[in-house]
Amino acid sequence: MIATEMSPQEIKSNKPYLDWGLSEKEYNYICEKLLKRLPNYTETGLFAVMWSEHCSYKKSKPVLREFPSQNERVLQGPGEGAGIVDIGDKQAVVFKAESHNHPSAIEPYEGAATGVGGIIRDIFSMGARPIAMLDSLHFGEIKQARTKYLINEVVAGIGGYGNCMGIPTVGGEMTFDDCYTGNPLVNAMCVGLMEQKDMQVGRAQGIGNAVMYVGAKTGRDGIHGATFASADFSDEKETQRSAVQVGDPFMEKLLMEACLELTNKHADWLVGIQDMGAAGLVSSSCEMASKAGSGLELVLDDVPQREPEMSAYEIMLSESQERMLLCIRAGFEQKVKKLFEDYGLEAVVIGRVVAGKQYLLKHNGQTVADIPVSSLTDDVLEEASQEQVPQRILQAQKKQQWIPQINNAAEVLTKLLQQPTIASKKMFTQTYDSQVRTNTVVGPGSDAAVLRVRGTKKALAMTTDGNGRFVYLDPKIGGKMAVIEAAANLIASGALPLAVTDCLNYGDPNDPAIYWELHQSVLGMAEACRTLDTPVISGNVSLYNESNGKAIYPTPMIGMVGLIRDLKHIIPSFVQHQGDLVYLVGQTKQDFAGSELQKMQLGEISGSLNEVNTTKITLRMKRLLTAMEKGLVASAHDLSEGGLAVALAETTFGTKYGIKGELSLSGAELFSETAGRFIVTVAPAKQKQFLAEMKDKVALIGKVSGESQLHLTYQDGQFNLDLEVVKGLWEDAIPCLMKSKD
């Protein structure tokens, strides 16, 4: 390979960097301003990956600054492997989400599996034990064989990795829409738990300290993965798709246990630890040096290699999985080696922290890179992007809003329950081990997953939410709704929302309309996060989610974690006792644009969204949480896709009860998707206290009945639905679609 590498002069004239995602402007800036010479082949490769959007956030950075990222609970904000939040008792919760959209579109099993593997490493690199996985998956409508294949393989990849690691996959979401057919979204979130004293950082400092490599050997897989994730798909460019990495969860399990022993028992040996994720060895090593302001020298001949004759370029850019980089205090190298040997793993010194601020790479006795560390991490040219309001938004404002005609609400509800986005996902979630480590109090299929914190009275609630339809129709309001929806899921479980991680999935940001969507939706999310006091402590940006020139809906995913102070306050999503009063919390408005009902009846979404008052909703949710903590609430369920009618049905599923209700709403309003609403059941004896706590804006709409019937009387009609029957339809809808031949 080395013999064929271009010389610096050839690079200048042949411009191979254009294919690696580096622009001519950036290349010239590197030559003229940063290095004051021409970079060689390896150096150019380093710049190309480190300056990719995936590593540098050069396009999204100006927008990401809008997010609040600190409050008194945040121990570690964005910039490390994952964010950390204080949960009391000297403990902390650690979490982050990451997208693996592009690899999953190509090789769905390994793409999803390595997405899970990568996010787990981010968590244990902070010194935390991963305790739960969640995901957020968006696919095309279940019609084509290719879509079914993608769904089956992504689900198998998530389960295959998480199950083997022994980390329960406890929750998540799955939606279906044509816009994701060519570019599915696979976002994974991992939550970890730690003692605050074990907190680690990804830093390499102290001249003479060792840089050690642990885990799997380096191969030629995934070279330029970060660059690949920063470009659009097109059928013609098929051959450019570099090899997707292959995961080995068993290796990662060993690596995790060994790293946790190191961080939790031998912190005095350790200076810093970081996962080798996107852009592998180059990003992990130069980020560790950059954060500490250190110089670094690596000898690439010492990097464990799986394949012969790898070039410096390949070694540095490989994205082989299950690898970690450590900075170890000089003198402790042998102890570290021994610790990893006990797990059957190799730990190798591949370099040292050196004086100065250069990033030096040696290979075959030659210096193959000698550039300032900061040139890779801090000097990236931020790109100002053009913004433009998309035509569809301007036009929608002029048009009249769609108001549905509902003649047979029971039939509409029955059909809605069978829409894939609403229907039961059990067929998939039951292939995930959701219980291993025996902390899962509430698993898949509820508003939020709940895990107890062993040895304490506390529990953690967690959820992932994203509804691209609303963001597509109005990025700012849709952004607010995504955050409100996540918070509502936590509140419904009895948890105080603590903080947020996100995956920002958008199309090509060079399109001014798409950049506008990104910017506006971040403004909306940031506003809701500030109101809720849930800072964004970690996250990831996935741009260029397009297939043959067509972008996905802008789909920010919100991952949120909440704290339940006492196990006694965990609130079930399902009705508990016959005779309990059913309350609707929050006002219902004419919110049909982007609703599941609109999609079902018109086959597409349109219209503009009504404003969402985050302050009012936050106050309402706080009151509800107080009522829950006072023991006044028997069950609670958040209203989302399909609105009140769907939520009423769902809240009875799996119980032997039904609901008899009387509402002052129209048949159409039963399906409105106004944000920030809940169905809450309350024992009659606690009614007075509950009402006093909630102040206003709750409506008594019925009672929990002893038979499995949903009996609703509303303004313009009434119906009686056998819940056993519709539950069966709700459960069978996706299995039927997955089995049908197209």
Q: Residues interacting with other proteins, by CB under 8 A?
A: 156, 159-160, 163-166, 248-251, 253-254, 343-344, 430-441, 452, 454, 567
Please indicate if the annotation marks 102 as binding a ligand.
Answer: yes
Neighbours of 688 (CB within 10 A): 11
State the Cα–Cα distance between residues 368 and 363, nearest whole angstrom: 6
530 labelled ligand-binding: no
- CB of 25 closer than 8 Å to CB of 365: no
Task: Compute and round to an integer the Cα radius of gyration of the chain.
Answer: 26
- Catalytic residue at 100? yes
Task: Rank residues 248 and 319 by Cβ distance to other proteins and give the closer one.
Answer: 248
722: β partners: 709
569 assigned to a ligand binding site: no
Q: What is the C-alpha to C-alpha distance for residues 662 and 420, in angstroms, rounded to an integer?
A: 28
Q: Give 131 or 316: the residue with its C-beta nearer to other proteins.
A: 131
Under 8 Å between Cβ of 25 and 33: no
Q: What is the DSSP string of 400-464?
A: PPP----S-HHHHHHHHTTSTTTS--HHHHTTS---TTS-EEE-TTSSSEEEE-TTSS-EEEEEE
Q: How many CA atoms lie within 13 A of 142 on its CB side?
A: 20
What would you measure as the largest C-alpha separation in the chain, in angstroms?
84
Based on CB atoms, which residue is closest to other proteins, 120 or 646? 120
As given in the structure block, the two tokens for residue 595 are 């609703």
CB of 140 to other proteins, least distance (A): 22
Ligand-binding site membership of 542 (annotated): yes
Inter-residue contact 69 to 483 (CB < 8 Å): no
Q: Min. distance of Cβ 95 from other proteins in angstroms?
A: 20
Identified catalytic residue from 100, 138, 363, 519: 100
Cα 127-189-460 angle, rounded to 5 deg: 70
Q: Which residues of 175-193 are buried (b: 16+ CB within 10 A; e: fewer)?
A: bbbebbbbbbbbbbbbbbb
Query: Residue 334 has which token pair?
Result: 């042998």
Q: How far is the CB of 431 from other proteins (least distance, A)?
A: 5
The beta-strand segments (E) located in 142-216 are 169-176, 185-195, 210-215
The answer on whether 101 is annotated among ligand-binding residues is yes
Q: Is 301 annotated as a binding residue?
A: no
Q: Is the CB of 129 or the CB of 703 nearer to other proteins?
A: 129
User: 84 or 165, CB closer to other proteins?
Assistant: 165
Strand blocks (E) in 281-363: 295-299, 323-328, 347-354, 358-363
What is the rounded CA–CA span in Å between residue 161 and residue 369?
36
Q: What is the DSSP letter of 507?
A: S
User: Which lies closer to other proteins via its Cβ, residue 172 or residue 249?
Assistant: 249
What gap in Å lies between CA 596 and CA 671, rounded to an integer? 8
Which amino acid is residue 92, in one-letter code? A
Instruction: Kindly state the smallest distance separating residue 640's Cβ from other proteins, in Å.
Output: 24
- Of 163 and 183, nearer to other proteins (C-beta) is 163
Q: How far apart are CA 698 and CA 625, in angstroms?
A: 14
Which CB atom, from 18 or from 736, has the smaller least distance to other proteins?
A: 736
CB of 436 to other proteins, least distance (A): 6
Q: Is 80 labelled a binding residue?
A: no
Q: Tell me how far apart the alpha carbons of residues 563 and 458 are, in angstroms, rounded to a whole number.
A: 7
686 neighbors 654 (Cβ within 8 angstroms): no
Q: Is 57 annotated as a binding residue?
A: yes
Of the pair 248, 596, the CB lying nearest other proteins is at 248
Residue 580 labeled ligand binder: no
Strand pairing of 449-452 and 440-442?
antiparallel
Structure-token match 């199950």, residue found: 163
Are 248 and 216 within 8 A, CB to CB? Answer: yes
Q: Does 96 appear as a known binding residue?
A: yes
**Minimum distance between the CB of residue 256 and other proteins, rounded to whole angstroms?**
10
Give the nearest distance from C-beta 255 to other proteins in angstroms: 11
The single-letter DSSP state of residue 305 is B
Check the annotation: does 117 bind a ligand.
no
CB of 90 to other proteins, least distance (A): 20
CA proximity to 134, closest of 424, 536, 487, 443: 443
* Catalytic residue list contains 577: no
Looking up tokens 């798409």 gives 514
- The nearest distance, CB 523 to other proteins, in angstroms, is 40
Q: Is residue 98 part of an annotated ligand binding site?
A: yes
Among candidates 293, 256, 238, which has minimal Cα distance to 161?
256
Q: Which residues have a catalytic role annotated?
A: 54, 100
Extract the annotated binding site for ATP: 57, 96, 502, 539
Specify binding-site residues.
Answer: 57, 96, 98-102, 121-122, 245, 275, 319-321, 502, 539-540, 542
- Per the annotation, binding residues for substrate are 99-102, 121, 245, 319-321, 542
Annotated binding-site positions for Mg(2+):
98, 122, 275, 540
